Every structure is written in C-alpha cells, then in structure tokens.
Amino acid sequence: MRKVVLANIESLSLGLMILLLPFQNTIIGATALGFLGKSPSFIFIAIILFLSFLKFSYKIKPVKRISFFVVFYFFVVNFASCICFFGETSYGRPLFIKGLNLLFLNLLFIFPFFYSANFDNKRYKHLILLSFFISIAGVVFGDILHFGFVEYGLFQMSERLSSRPRGFSYEASMLASTIFPLMFSFFCLRNKSKDYSVYAIGIFLVVAVFTSSKGAIVTIILANIFSYVFNRRLFTLKGLFFLIVFSLGVAALSSILIEYFSTDIKNNTSVATRVVCVLTAVFSLLQNPFGVGYFGFLHAFESNISEAIGFVNSMSPVRLNMYEAEGYVTAASDVAIGTKSFFWNNVICFGWPFVILFFLYVFDVVKKCRIYGRKDLELAFWFVIISLFSFVEGIGLYSISLFLAVLSYEIRRNKEIYIKEVERMKENHYVLCK
C-alpha cells in the first residue's frame, strides 16, 4: 500500500512538473525564495528527489566506481570550499549563503542523474506536448497580442528586456531553452523511425528563428552538423540529399542573418559579455585546477573578471561593447553574476575533473545513440549540450532536466532491446550451427 501511494505521488509530481515548465519568471521569484521561485516546477522536483532518496534508503544498490568518485569529489570540493570561504563576502553577498543557494539550485537541475523516470505511460507524452503549446501560447498572448495578464503580474515578475519574444520566460534565449527541450522530449518518446526527416529539421530551424534567439539558431545548425556530417550515413543517398537541402537552407538563412549578427556583435553587449565570462572561467581554471566549489564561485569570478576584460580589449580586432561586462566589476549585488553557461560556471566550481567528466559523458551518450541507431536522440542531445556549453546556465531551466531524464530512459530502454536482440541472434546462430 505504501509503495502504491508513493508511486502515485511521484507520478503526480512528475506530471505537474512537466505542466509548469513553461513558466520561468513568475511572481514567486519576487518573494524570499528569489531565483528559486521563478519556476514553480522546483516544488515537484524537490518532491521527486525526496521520494528517490526514500527508495534508495530502502534498498541500497551497488554504486559504480565513477559515480562514487563524482559524488565523493563533489562533496570534498564543496566542503573544502565552505571552510575556506566561510565568513567572507563578494558582491555584497555572504559566500556561505551563495554557496548553499548554488548547491540547491544545481541539485534540482541535475535531478535526472538521481532519478530514473519511467515514461512508458502515454500521458507523459501528452503532458509534454501540452507544455510545449503552453509555451507557444505565452508568445502569442504576451508578445503578439500583448495581453496584460501574460506580460505582467503573476506570470512575469520583471519588465521586458527587448522586443524579442519571451513568452512566459525571462527573455528570448530562455524561451528557446524551454521550447526546444520540450519539443525534443516529445519527438524522442514518440519517434518510431529513430530519425528526423528533412521536414522536421526545417521545423526546428523555423522555431529557432521564431524565438529570435541567436544562440538557438546557431546551436540547431551546429547540432545538425555534429549529428549528421560527422557520421558514416552521410555518404548514403539519403545522407547526401539531406546535406544538400540542409546546406541550401543554412546558406539562405545565413544571407538573411549575417548582417544582423555582425551588427549585433559590434553594438550589443551579449557577445562581448559571453567572451569575457568564458575567459574569466579559463583564468580561474588556470589558478584553481581543482575548482573553488560553489562557496568560492563569486570570489573567483570577481577576482578574474577585470583581467578577462583587459585581455579581450587588447586582443579583439573590433571594438566590442563592454558596458555589461564592465558592470560586473563594480556591481554591488550578485544578481546576474555568472558566466551565462552551465559548463563554464562548473569549470570555475570543479576545475579539470569536471571538464574531463563532462566530455566523457558526452562521448558515452553519443556512442550509445549511434550503437542503438537513435539519430533523433543524438541530434537533441547535441542541441542541449551545445546550449549548456555556450549560452544556457541550466539552473531554473527544468525543461532541459526533463529532456535529460527522457534521454536516460530512452537509452535504458534501447539497451534492453539491444541486449535481447543480440541474445536472439546468438540463439539463432547456435541453432543453425547444430
């Protein structure tokens, strides 16, 4: 009876988490919860994690060596970081409080690594699709029709940064980081052909342009290149046809966007800020090869940002707009302080071991996707990984967490199918040999 009740609570929590994924900037964020409250999904992720802990405590399972190392290193670095930076402040914020904040937010974001979701039930696919359409509805009612109840109040706690669509998110890049993982999650759960057609790729490009996110447009192109160009199937008739159509599409898109991109690089702050933030992480990595943990993140960022700005100004062939980046030097608050990237934030926190584990994880997933013939999973995975590497911080964007859970489920399911197929072939071979 107890197991049934817990299973029902878990299923309900997962469903409600999925439904609330489009809401990324709610008024709850203006309360004492701060950034944590911007997405109500965190409530149900916390419940799921708690239930996972209960199940784990009931039945202790053998832990892989690599998993043990990751958890051990994670806690050792953060424990040492907590001791070293306890009592210190940066950007007017106690580092101990900031460290706890980052610890909790990141645990919520990477919950798929602690929770094995089962997406066999069709209702999850329907909920994911519904969540996707809620995101689109946010753009229609908020950005096109300008309905007040979407633009302000309960669903939006802050003013619009630009004229680009944001839906129920904070801004365009977060909208893209919500819509695409939802779309990929749905397609990966229902896709029977294990591949995307040229039409589906076209839809992805149209959606990327629709969100007006430069990062999403570039990332979907790179994801296709990594997924299809670096693959033996390119040299088939279907692969060559795809390459021709894709190249023509990219060329047409580039002719439209190249002038916009070049003007944006020179005049707007986003490119300069991201370059400076990456170099800040690189300088921190060189000084602290094993990282500074969550409790030392703000200190490391503040210590290296000025050097990074000076380096970019001295090396850049064009003059970049450093207004936002220079604001990080004199900022009185830690709001918006970060590298704008999940990968580079964690490079500062965990150093070279994180870099190595990150790429080992990428190679392992790509290898499994190709063994099981899941081109759909691989393309979606490349999009998420490139996003996390370049323009997405991850925390608060639980649609990415959902996709990682779907990815884990699909790989497990395909592994079981693959093993059964291999065993069947061995049995057939044995019968023929007799």
- The predicted pLDDT at position 345 comes to 94
More confident residue, 124 or 149: 124
Query: Has residue 154 got a pLDDT over 90?
Result: no
Question: Is residue 15 classed exposed, middle or buried when 0-12, 13-18 and 19+ CB atoms within 10 A define those classes?
Answer: middle
User: What single DSSP character describes residue 156?
Assistant: B
Q: State the DSSP H helix or E strand holding residue 96, giving kind and residue range, or none if neither.
A: helix 95-109
- Beta carbons within 8 Å of 199's beta carbon, 6+ residues apart: none
Return the minimum-mean-pLDDT range out of 10-24, 103-117, 282-296.
103-117
pLDDT, mean of residues 92-121: 86
pLDDT at position 264 over 70: no
Residues 6+ apart with CB under 8 A from 146: none
- Residue 300's pLDDT is what? 94
* pLDDT single digits (tens) 173-204: 888 888 889 988 988 888 655 666 555 666 66
pTM equals 0.86
324 vs 248, which has greater pLDDT? Answer: 324
What is the overall mean pLDDT for the chain? 81
Mean pLDDT throughout 60-72? 68
Distance from first CA to last CA of the chain, Å, rounded? Answer: 50
Residue 286 has pLDDT above 70, yes or no: yes
pLDDT at 117 over 50: yes
Per-residue pLDDT tens digits for 379-433: 889 999 999 988 888 888 899 999 999 999 999 888 888 888 877 777 766 666 6
83 confidence band (pLDDT: 50, 70, 90): very high
Q: Which range among 259-273, 285-299, 320-334, 347-361 shows the weakest confidence by mean pLDDT?
A: 259-273
Q: Which comes out higher in pLDDT, residue 353 or 173?
A: 353
- pLDDT surpasses 50 at 127: yes
In the chain, what percentage of residues exceed pLDDT 70? 81
pLDDT in tens, 392-402: 888 888 999 99
256 vs 268: CA distance, rounded Å: 19
Of 385 and 319, the structure prediction assigns the larger pLDDT to 385
How many residues in total does the chain contain? 434
Mean local confidence (pLDDT), 48-66: 66
**How far from 1 is each of 5, 7, 96, CA to CA, in Å?**
6, 10, 42
Alpha helices (H) in 117-236, listed in sequence order = 122-139, 148-151, 172-190, 198-211, 214-224
> Which of 60-69, 103-112, 146-155 is modeled with the greatest confidence?
103-112
Distance between CA atoms of residues 302 and 90, nearest Å: 7
